[in-house]
Amino acid sequence: MGRLFGTDGVRGIANADLTAELALGLSVAAAHVLAEAGGFEGHRPVAVVGRDPRASGEFLEAAVVAGLASAGVDVLRVGVLPTPAVAYLTGALGADLGVMLSASHNAMPDNGVKFLARGGHKLDDELEERIEAVYAEHRTGAPWNRPTGAGVGRVRDYQEGFDQYVAHLIGVLPNRLDGLKIVLDEANGAASWVSPEAFSRAGAEIITIGAQPDGLNINDGCGSTHLELLKAAVVEHGADFGIAHDGDADRCLAVDGAGQEVDGDQIMAILAVSLREHGGLRENTVVGTVMSNLGFKLAMEREGIDFVATSVGDRYVLEAMKEHGYALGGEQSGHVIVLDHATTGDGTLTGLLLAARVSETGRTLADLATVMRRLPQVLINVPDVDKSRVDSAAELAAAVVEAEAELGSTGRVLLRPSGTEPLVRVMVEAADIDHARTVAGRLADVVKSVLG
């Protein structure tokens, strides 16, 4: 059996890679591992279980709930809610663990199981590895120690979770959104009811698209991975701006009143300035990744805000934030973490805070986004090469030094081996797109020649 847990839970094609049996077994294993770790001592354990609207989530939810209850865990089934809502409720209700069934921005056939520890935080690597080991051990025949009688877990629907989460979102806002007209693209996903409700209660006039999930249409030509519909709707309705989420609503991208994209880096730049003005930008620092646009870093320098770059992946951003007590971090994809109010990226919260900034300042989103100039970025994937030699090939290192000297302070080069494929990603930023393409193409040729 290969490694099951990836950077964000266990994912795969539902009913092929991710079966009901696997979901059930992992849930039983998680309950036993967390109990052994001392998390359930002195009380009857409780789990919060939620899902996005994928059709496969229905049977996978049943499997997870069955597994947890069979291990003696009481289950609060919150239904279709965003990943950050499940994380919030896990913490707010004092639950011992949370489980979210979603494959986020992936296509509908995929699904995933994500376990959350007490407080709504992602499980650390050691616990995930232990869950895998215990699952593998019992999968080969070792019997479970199963409770009977009154010891089995009880299951109930927890419909109050919807209003609790919306109230939490509204409570975070520094000001209301009255007078704003906003288009919301919910990706036919987990935020299809929560996000419109929150924006409406906050005072905004809303138009919703991609908010009629049928179990099969999640992320299908809509949401944060397909902004075309949102751009058209914002212009058609004369809206102030638009907000787009992904399937489990842990991401947020935006579109200004003219239909131009405002990406995660620009959103973070806007929020960083806002948090600093309100005294909430701890250590005067924002966290991004090595793939954050150079324009973001330059903008933070101009604003006198420190920038910390981590490896690619929201888990690394979150680790840096928790270790050093930073308040804001995220990625270009729109996965933005506001740690004072969420334990993970929360697309609805991000959108609300962005809207609050527009309302507070009276400036358009397009005007606010000018805090940073997004430099042209060219990414070339070079396949079928020995990615293990990226950092050791002298000829390649020399080519990078030469390219960096040519680009100067307004450009950047990044060579990064793929984590899952035999390829190297060549990323070049420059003040001019043609210059970026030229340098990227030249470096890609060197990568192919040296590592091919």
SS3 406: helix
Residue 89's identity, in one-letter code, is L
Nearest to 112 by CA among 51, 65, 69: 51
CB atoms within 10 A of CB 124: 12
Q: 46-51 and 97-101: which strand pairing? A: parallel
What residues are paired with 13 via a beta bridge? Answer: 110
Q: How far is CA 441 from the centre of its chain?
A: 31
Quick one: tokens of 365?
A: 């989103």
Radius of gyration of the chain (CA): 23
Q: Are 82 and 250 in contact (CB under 8 A)?
A: yes
CB atoms within 10 A of CB 156: 9
Q: Report the run of H or E that residue 84 belongs to, with start and end.
A: helix 83-92
SS3 402: helix
Q: 10-13 and 110-117: which strand pairing? A: antiparallel
| 250 annotated as belonging to a binding site for a ligand | yes
Quick one: tokens of 355?
A: 């809207």
What is the C-alpha end-to-end distance of the chain, expressed in Å?
30
Q: Are 361 and 368 in contact (CB under 8 A)?
A: yes
| 248 annotated as belonging to a binding site for a ligand | yes
Backbone angles phi, psi at 368, to 5 degrees: -60, -35
| 8 annotated as belonging to a binding site for a ligand | no
Task: Cite the beta strand spans of 320-417 per DSSP E.
Answer: 328-330, 336-338, 377-383, 412-417
SS3 442: helix
SS3 389: helix
Report the alpha-carbon distance of residue 429 to residue 283 in Å, rounded: 28
Residue partners of 149: CB distance under 8 A and separation at least 6: none
Backbone angles phi, psi at 13, to 5 degrees: -70, 125
- Per the annotation, the verdict on 418 as an active-site residue is no
| 178 annotated as belonging to a binding site for a ligand | no
Catalytic residue chosen out of the listed positions 56, 102, 104, 333: 104
User: Which residues sit in the known binding site?
Assistant: 104, 246, 248, 250
The residues assigned a catalytic role are: 104
Would you list which residues are annotated within the binding site for Mg(2+)? 104, 246, 248, 250
